[in-house]
Amino acid sequence: MENMEKEPDELSHLPDALNLALEREKLAYEFYLKAANKVEDAGVKTLFTQLAKEEKGHIARIQAVIDREIMRDM
């Protein structure tokens, strides 16, 4: 996760920006999933589960863009 320490202005190339976005979405997904498994309150568990689901969708969309960009460059 070397790109995690880069500032946005250092991410002027699309692949770098996409990889950073993907890494951060994966971290957010893992955070929400762990949080959902630790809390006992049903409402909070539902919230964290929904947030994890949204992050998973973000991951899929970013990965699709990455895949499309790789195929375009081939």
**How many structural domains are present in the chain?**
1
pLDDT on residue 32? 98
Alpha-carbon span 46 to 69, nearest angstrom: 35
Q: For residue 1, name the pLDDT band (cuts at 50, 70, 90).
A: very low
Q: Answer yes or no: are the C-beta atoms of 11 and 3 closer than 8 Å.
A: yes
Q: Evaluate the CA torsion angle 45, 49, 54, 59 in order and state its sign.
A: positive
Provide DSSP, 27-55.
HHHHHHHHHHHH---HHHHHHHHHHHHHH
Q: Which domain holds residue 32?
A: 26-74
Mean pLDDT, rounded, for 7-16: 71
| In-domain check, residue 64 | yes
Tell me the pLDDT tens digit for each residue of 13-65.
888 889 999 999 999 999 999 999 999 999 999 999 999 999 999 999 999 99
Q: Is 43 within the bounds of a domain? A: yes
Q: Tell me which of 20 and 8 has the higher pLDDT.
A: 20
Has residue 17 been placed in a domain? no
Q: Look at residue 4 in the predicted model and tell me its pLDDT.
A: 56
